[in-house]
Each structure stands twice: as C-alpha cells, then as structure tokens.
Chains A and B, each alone.
Chain A
Amino acid sequence: MTSRITADDVVHVARLARLSLTDDEVTTFTDQLAAVLDHAADVEALSIDDVPPMIHPWPLRNVMRPDEVGATLDRDEVLAHAPATEEGQFRVPAILGDEP
C-alpha cells in the first residue's frame, strides 16, 4: 500500500520543530510514523455512522477554578536550572533571521 506519510513530510515537520535529522533517521521515522498512521486507518475502516463525534475521552465539561492567586515559583531556583541566564531572565540563542 502507498505510505500515508512521505520523507518530505517528516523533513518538514522536523524543520518546524527545529530538529536536525540524518537521512537514516528520516527513513526510520518515516517508516515508524507510517505504521502509526496505518493503525489509525484500522479505526477508519470501522462503520461509525451512528457514533457521535467525541472531542474528549472523559465525559466532563466546564472544569474551572476560581480566579484566586496561588503560589509562584522562586525565580532564583528556577533560573538555576537554565543553561544561561541574564538579568533575571532566560538567555536563549537568537533563533530567527536565519534558516534553522
């Protein structure tokens, strides 16, 4: 059967997530993702005309909390886990402007 996903799709999605993949990885992931999609196709084959669409597996609606301020995290403790910080902020590489 024709694959539901192409190597180009995998490269595109990897680029959106800024992941750098080798050619071998692209082949591996294309095969693996195709298998996942084939599994979903098993569901598509079922007759579900009389089953209402389901947005969420839990039969819950309207789960909300009151607008009350709670605890915050300690900034120094949080920033201690970051690879780089500056002036109380996370320092990250410039990511726009050039191709990833």
Chain B
Amino acid sequence: MTDERSGESVEGDGTTLRSPTTGDVWEIVVGLEVHAELATATKLFSAAPNVFGGEPNRNIDPVSLGLPGSLPVLNHRAVELAMRVGLALGCEVRPCVFARKNYFYPDMPKDFQISQFDLPLNVDGQLELPSGQIAGIERAHLEEDTGKNMHVGGDGRIHGAEASLVDYNRAGVPLIEIVGRPDLRGAEQARQYVAELRSVLVAVGASDGKMEEGSLRVDANVSVRPLGDPELGTRCEIKNVNSLRSLGRAIDYEARRQVDLLEAGERVAQETRHWDDANGRTRSGRSKEQAEDYRYFPEPDLVPLDPDPAWVEAVRAALPPLPAERRRRLADAGGVAPAAVALHVERGLDALALAAMAAGADPARVLNHVEHNLAVDGAHDLDAGAFAELVAMETGGELTATQAKQVLADMVTSGRSARDIASERGFEAMDTSELDSALDAVIAEFADDWAAFCAADDPGKRKKLTGFFTGKVMAATQGRADGRAVGEALTRRAAG
C-alpha cells in the first residue's frame, strides 16, 4: 500500500513503515482504549432505563440530569458484568473507589463524569488473539457514559456550529473502559484485538458489542519509533473511530503523518486527534489552551467498592468458555490451527460445528460449511444432527458440493431436513447408468473434442477438456451429476 502524499509504504506484515527517501524502517505502536456499554436494564447510578435509540430525553431522571440534591447509587448488576469482563481478561479484581473527572461540556450536565482513576476495579490482564499473540491489559474500570450532542447550524461539525442539541438518554449508562498496553503493532493487530475483545464481551454477556450503535467505541493511541528502538515515541490519541475498517485506516494514516513529521525534523505533539472518515485523515482536536486537565478527586457521594471474595469467585466460576479456549477446542476437533477457526468462533457457530462433528460429520466439510455457507441469519438455530446428516450425504456422494450448499441454505430458512429438501429438488444421487447415458450422448455430440481428449498427453490440455465435458454433462443433467464422478468416468473411458 502506498500513500500518494509521502510515498511511504506499509511493510509486508503491516507492523512497520519504510521511508522511500531514507530507507528507514519505523515501527507502528498502538495501544487501544475500548469503551463498552454494559448490558444492564438501568443506568450505572440511577434507575432510569438503559436502552438504545428512542425519542430524546425520555430515559432521564434527576441523577441523569445532575439535578441539585440527587445522589448516585451503584448498580449491582453493572459491577457484576464489569467483574466478568475483568476476570475473563485474567485481571485481578481489587477494592476500588469512584472519582470525579471534571470538565466543562454540555454532554455531562453536572460538569463531571463519575469514573475510576487511581484505584480501578480490574487491573493487569491480557487478551489472547487468534494468532496466539498476547496483548496486555492495564486496567478495566467502571464509568458512566455521557449524553449525546448534535451540532446544528454551520456545517454540522463542531467547528462552525451555531448551537448544540443535547439528549441525555445515554448520560449515566454504565461503561467499562478497557485500557490496553501499547503491545500492538500496526492496523491489522489492532483490528484483531478489537474483534477478539468484542467476542469476549459478547461471550460473557457483558455487552452486545455493536460498534455501529456506539455500544463499543475505540480510541487508538498511536506512535512510531525507529524499528528496534526500545523507547516509545510521542503518541496521539485518535478518537471517533466507529468501525474496524476506520480503525485500520486511521492507524495507517496517523502513522504516516507522524513519520512525515519526524523525517522533516519536526516533533509529534502529544494531543487528541479526531478521525475524519469522509476525508480519510485525522485532525487536531482541542487547542493547547484547552489541554486536558480533569482535576480528578474521589467522588464523595459514593462509598468504596470492595467486592466480597466469595462473590468474585462465584462470578469467575460462572464464566462461560472464552473464545481462545473455544478456538483451541474446535481446532483440535477439526485437526487445524486455532487461527483457522477464528471466524467460526467469532460468529458463535463453534458449538454447532463441534456437535455436528460429534454426530459423525466430516470435520473438514463441517468447518468449510460454517466458514463459507453459514454466515447468515438463522444459522445459530440450525440443528446439529440435521447439519451432520447433510454433511454425511455430501461425503457419501449423494449430494455434490454445490447441491449441499443449496440444501444447507434451504435448511436454515425452512428448518426442513436435508433429505426432504434434496428429494424435493430432485437432488437424488444419479445412478451409474444415468451418468453413463448422459456421457454417451455428450461424447456422440462432441466427437472431435472427445478424440482430442483421448489423444491429449499434455495434462493442461486434458484438464481443460475435462472441464469442458464436465460442463456439458452438468448441463445435460441440470446440475445433478457429481463433478468428481464425471471426471473419473471420463478418465476411465479414455483409458479403456
């Protein structure tokens, strides 16, 4: 990939940039902060509903609005979900306190956000990516979400807007902020990290993980350094990254921008930058005079949280199998590497695949169907026994691969059995005599090509003609013939 602006290219594995002018190689260092909305019924500190969408300012109460005299009370369920996430990431759950993060902005009507600062709930964990790479987690703490501002007038962006409209439905919704260590190199590893973290959040029931609805949000800390240099470079925090694709583009862009600055003898200023998806660039966020100065102090209206060890252990014991473990399990059963089944697990179809294999279905065909033919709504409801029957029909030669794919799609939408669907569609196994007579007819019609086929000693030419005859037989049988059986019959006849 080449950038027209500077001509630098991302190296093969995407973790470094090479400068075309100096030949220097720069390493792209990324640490991610992921905010996930917790799947509670109510807000973090009040009983107003936690729901996405709907009319503005319907899910508000005195606490959401920061009205004088209102007091926060911690949501038990939010704490439990946050502990699930922490424990799933191998964190230590610690006694913790809440803190006020003070800033002046209308998305928080009380002019501070309740978060955790020096004493967070979960510390020191890690995330195992499908590649086997381990990424460190510094902390995972609880905080409340902010309201939503919509800028109106001007060009609709922050700069030039005349006014902002504020909706406090989201204000106070419980968030877990998962702060990763700068262990990631380049855009691809960052994307894998977010996809894996999302799988973990969904697996433990903490969040729905929907980036498109904003329930999962990512800020990327990006810096560059000469490859091999142990010191970290100055980082910029990239905000407003709303999809995995944007995350990758933003990191690539930002790394190039920083390398350009450094190679021009300039310095990277530590700052917050916003990703502009439409124009494919990051731009500076707040000016120097508005540098972040949050004046954190302990929240006097909330007492410390010190989860009982028995509660922590009960939450740990109730954790479901996590994606890394599920990949290992499926990979073992399928005889492949864990990275090869990442998609299967990410889609939550590993249990189906394992059950079908346990029912005797050929593992390779099962994995292939799940990867390529089951990325559809309703796949989760597919009965494993019925799926195994389909695979057995395919393995036994009753269905061709193409037919099996069609039958499977029908099974997912209709819920009927593979045998019923195959029968209705006329996908009966062709008996030998039917195939033979189809072959006879085709060979008679294309006698010259058949002579060429029999005479061909060049494998390429033979292969090409095999394809030609297979196509003709398929057409003559309305696609019911098995391609492999046709090929074998052709070879047999030419030899005989």
Contacts and interface: CB of A to CB of B under 8 A. Distances in A.
Main secondary structure of the interface of A (DSSP, over half): loop
A73 B61 contact: yes
A56 interface: yes
B303 A63 contact: yes
A64 B47 contact: no
Interface string B279-308: 000000011010001010010101111111
A63 B73 contact: yes
A92 B133 CA distance: 47
Among A71, A78, A86, A89, max chain B CB count under 10 A is at A89
Interface in B407-449: none
Interface residues of B, number: 60
Nearest to A60: B303
Contacts of A90: 57, 106, 165-166, 168
Given A88-B57, A90-B165, A95 B106 contact: yes
A3 B97 CA distance: 32
Given A65-B74, A89-B56, A89-B150, A70 B61 contact: yes
B36 interface: no
A52 interface: no
A93 B164 CA distance: 6
Contacts of A99: 287, 289
Interface string A52-89: 00011010111111111111110100110000101111
A94 B61 contact: no
Interface residues of A, number: 40
B163 A92 contact: yes
A66 to B, nearest CB: 6
A75 B57 contact: yes
A17 interface: yes
Contacts of A18: 104
A16 interface: yes
Given A68-B41, A94-B164, A78 B104 contact: no
A71 B303 CA distance: 24
A96 interface: yes
A91 B164 contact: yes
B367 to A, nearest CB: 39
A67 B61 contact: no
B307 A94 contact: no
Interface in B290-340: 293, 295, 298, 300, 302-308
A65 B60 contact: no
Contacts of B154: 94
B160 interface: yes
14 contacts: A16-B293, A17-B111, A55-B304, A58-B303, A63-B73, A65-B47, A68-B42, A73-B60, A75-B55, A86-B152, A88-B57, A90-B106, A94-B153, A94-B163
Interface of B: 40-42, 46-49, 55-62, 65, 73-79, 97, 102-106, 111, 150-154, 158-168, 286-287, 289, 293, 295, 298, 300, 302-308
3 closest cross-chain pairs (CB), A and B: A70-B47, A67-B77, A89-B165
